[in-house]
Structure 1
């Protein structure tokens, strides 16, 4: 059994890990230069992994630190302070490979793979997405057939982080029936890329816009896996997938927190030291507003992390936790992108350099609003779920319902004027997205309130910005915008004809 850092208390471990990353990113390597190149240098990544950061997502019985959510989020946050791409690499490994393997894998496979992670710095990932079926995962065409002693899996996947680089994969596929149809349910298989029968080649690499450290591309699957490498769901494979994806979404704030803190620290430092007309830039009222937006995002994300620790462990069944999981993922990633845009704006022309922290932050945080469910889709799902609960409760007033909902019953009282309107349950899609944006903010502010002893001045900053956002979204929701695009717009649309 591997012996690692499990006997070191986490406060000592994470302090040492942060110092280790700081030295690597700021002194030993010029990460501003590295950020312009594809992939992390092998020796650089090896030094990062010397501290065994992924041990936080490995059970103690296999030599890990115990799959403690607080520790997982701490590692993600420490990484994202230095590099959002590195944190995403860790997030993929933790939430989309190690945690599901720890919960649903067979003992023999767990023992072998966890040892590889601890002793040989292995990496793992998840393959769900297909070119014709992005968020429509239930219609995936990758299929499997049972054979003697195992399964034959065939298909194609794309946009998997660590394509061509991960040592192990979780692959999703649907069972091929006797008549050639594919079953509705989805199954998961663990693959070992070092085994020729399980090797999955990346046949095309994408030239991704950001997150240069992570390879993405098209992966061709034509493999045979042993019987014990199929995950065992507690009920159905679809529920396993929902449990896994909701857990991942609930842990997004770990990646967000370090990133937001770095943006806040960099922006504060710049604005306090940049002199304009004889005074610091931070003296300007409009700048104070922008800086407080970033700080509010940091506070809200802190509340999300606090909630996630209590509710996203592998001992929890999260298959039905869509409202909270979608709220955390969608809102934190929106806050990450907005904060990066503010930081770039405050940095002036220098911020637009690709190797400037704010410039990289804008590009690297943008796909977080898209992958694991686009935010518009998730906000719509939040609203649809709440509307369903309101119909069941025979309640039409949004404030009255949220006052009775478990994760808004305290926070709604701060925002009741903005949300005191009735709903008729038949809302068009664009308005459900707006409604979801509002509900997510009320939910996540309650998580801020739940942090007993947290700095009251910071909580008030967050409250003011949430209240402002809700007023804005309320006006948008009540505006009854029904504009649709005119696809054949050539008629009378050239301004030069009217001069």
Structure 2
């Protein structure tokens, strides 16, 4: 019988705690490149990735709730560990379960369950970061499979994963590349499928995860091509949107850890005879992290409902982008606050808040930089407004399913018309406003089921404050431009 998830999760948490605090030291482990073999073995003994494997293959059944819970439990102890699981779950196991050929699924899933295998996804290229549609990695069809050639970089688990899903475009007879994208599973242990690591990057944080430059010159059998239900581009969007909807799982445990660390420090630290907790500015900063915790919790609840592999998420860019962009901003803010509250102690390299700043920072960059995602959020909403012929932003939000329940409390702030032409800096600001209103309704929906009203009320106050600040940037924005030849007539010593 399948183990009750509460017992599964408890065993996983206890094993992590033992490995990181008894058998090893998480503070020193987080500063090493990779993890010692015995630590990895101990972690994988709990078979955490079974949550992302279908029941018919011996897994726990791909429950989004369970996947998010495992990611959260891992990120409470180690954000890089959670990201490692996130890569495996969202960027390999779920795509394999949904799009993989039946003849290869059982063998690969068995290796994950029995041999502690790992997998990842290769999309990003040296000259085409977020511009995936113009990637240069190509494939040629042959009688018995596909030859794939190209370069990929910044893939998490570089040189460590046993399997990869590689994105490529078909090379046409005239030498050009086709517009669509195809995905292929590669197996490092199979002859002719080994992806060569040219060199590793000395990444600033996330030391546990290797990154580098990969050279691809491989051949894979025909049944290792993912089977698209329509176009490869739609499949890619479905995969990436589902991955972005799992960011709240990684974010929740991390934010909760920042909150617990900050609360513990502020309660024990004495200033003028009383604990730091009683200072008004400290209470405000702690409430900011609590607000982030509530927002992230709402995102997890929403993701658990809408992001199973049975759903087509290719057209769900709005919510996927909101979850990824806002939660990663909140992760960075929470770690900054936690460090600031701990003063000089937080600035030690082995302090979890200090590490958290560095480790959470790339989350705002990979899988689409947040500036790009906020821009897309705004563009999607403006397009919807025009289609529905809504005159004001508030009028639209009042009738939009993702915001209609809470839009009323923002009437005075958001009752304005949106111009046809906005600068990108304005679109980014508008995207941030939209993300906060939509996410606040996620939290509100939880209160209808018993979530704490005091956490929701505080969350409302912070979202209201954020939106007021953002509106000033939207309507009275800074239009400054860079001065390229800034060194001319700008040396201070010439003006004494």
Distance 2:156 2:294 in 1: 29
The structure 2 residue matched to 1:415, chosen from 365, 390, 410, is 410
Task: Render the CA deviation track for 1:286-345: whole Å, top value 9, x for unaligned.
Answer: 000011101100000000000000000000000000110000000000000000000011
Alignment of 1:22-421 (within 5 A): 22-421=17-416
Q: CA deviation at 1:121?
A: 0.2
1:453 is aligned to: 450
Does structure 2 conserve the Cα–Cα contact (< 8 Å) formed by 1:300 and 1:462?
A: yes
The runs of at least 4 aligned residues of structure 1 exceeding 3 Å deviation read none
Task: Render the CA deviation track for 1:98-137: whole Å, top value 9, x for unaligned.
Answer: 0000000011111110000000000000000000000000
Distance 1:43 1:194 in 2: 22
Which range moved further: 454-463 or 420-429? 420-429
Q: How many residues align?
A: 494
SS of the residue corresponding to residue 415 of structure 1 reads helix
Distance 1:416 1:332 in 2: 25
Distance 2:205 2:486 in 1: 34
Q: CA deviation at 1:497?
A: 2.5
Distance 1:283 1:20 in 2: 36
SS of the residue corresponding to residue 450 of structure 1 reads helix
Does structure 2 conserve the Cα–Cα contact (< 8 Å) formed by 1:125 and 1:162?
A: yes
Distance 2:17 2:409 in 1: 40
1:8 is aligned to: 3
Q: CA deviation at 1:393?
A: 1.4
Does structure 2 conserve the Cα–Cα contact (< 8 Å) formed by 1:92 and 1:161?
A: yes
Q: CA deviation at 1:411?
A: 2.1
Q: CA deviation at 1:170?
A: 0.2
Which range moved further: 222-231 or 352-361? 352-361
1:471 to 2:486 alignment: no
Task: Render the CA deviation track for 1:444-487: whole Å, top value 9, x for unaligned.
Answer: 01100111200111111111110100000011111132211111
Q: CA deviation at 1:254?
A: 0.2
SS of the residue corresponding to residue 198 of structure 1 reads coil
1:487 to 2:481 alignment: no
Which range moved further: 348-357 or 207-216? 348-357
Q: CA deviation at 1:158?
A: 0.1
Distance 1:306 1:369 in 2: 22
Root mean square deviation of aligned Cα: 0.8
TM-score when normalising by structure 1: 0.98
Task: Render the CA deviation track for 1:410-439: whole Å, top value 9, x for unaligned.
Answer: 122222222221112211111000000000
Does structure 2 conserve the Cα–Cα contact (< 8 Å) formed by 1:205 and 1:218?
A: yes
Which range moved further: 482-491 or 136-145? 482-491
1:462 is aligned to: 459
Distance 1:10 1:411 in 2: 34
Distance 2:323 2:317 in 1: 10
Q: CA deviation at 1:28?
A: 1.4
Which range moved further: 403-412 or 373-382? 403-412
Q: CA deviation at 1:494?
A: 2.2
Distance 1:362 1:432 in 2: 26
SS of the residue corresponding to residue 486 of structure 2 reads coil
Does structure 2 conserve the Cα–Cα contact (< 8 Å) formed by 1:281 and 1:287?
A: yes
Does structure 2 conserve the Cα–Cα contact (< 8 Å) formed by 1:341 and 1:362?
A: yes
TM-score when normalising by structure 2: 0.99
Distance 1:414 1:68 in 2: 35
Which runs of 5 or more structure 2 residues have no equivalent in the other structure?
Answer: none
SS of the residue corresponding to residue 220 of structure 2 reads strand
Does structure 2 conserve the Cα–Cα contact (< 8 Å) formed by 1:391 and 1:425?
A: no
Q: CA deviation at 1:196?
A: 2.5
